[in-house]
Structure 1
Amino acid sequence: MDINEIRKQIDALDDELLRIFNQRAQLALDIGHCKKKVGLAVYDPQREKKIFERMKGANPGPLDDGAIVRLFERVIDESRRLERIKTKGE
Structure 2
Amino acid sequence: MTIDELRTEIDRLDSELLRIFNQRAGLALQIGEIKKQRGMAVYDPRREKLIFERMKSENGGPLDDGAIVRLFERVIDESRRLERIMTNRDKRVKE
State the TM-score, normalized to the length of structure 2.
0.93
- Tell me the percent identity: 74
Q: Which amino acid aligns with 2:51?
A: I
One-letter code aligned to 1:50: L
Gaps of 5+ in 2: none
Tell me the TM-score normalised to structure 1 length.
0.98
Task: Kindly report structure 1 stretches of 4+ aligned residues shifted beyond 6 Å.
Answer: none
Equivalent residue, structure 2, for 1:37: 37
Q: Which has the larger radius of gyration?
A: 2
Aligned residues: 90
Q: RCO higher in 1 or 2 (8 Å CA, sep ≥ 6)?
A: 1
Deviations 1:45-74, CA, capped at 9 Å, x for gaps: 000000000000000000000000000000
| Structure 1: gaps spanning 5 or more residues | none
Tell me how large the CA RMSD over aligned residues is. Answer: 0.8
Q: Secondary structure in 2 aligned to 1:42?
A: coil
Alignment of 1:50-89 (within 5 A): 50-88=50-88, 89=91
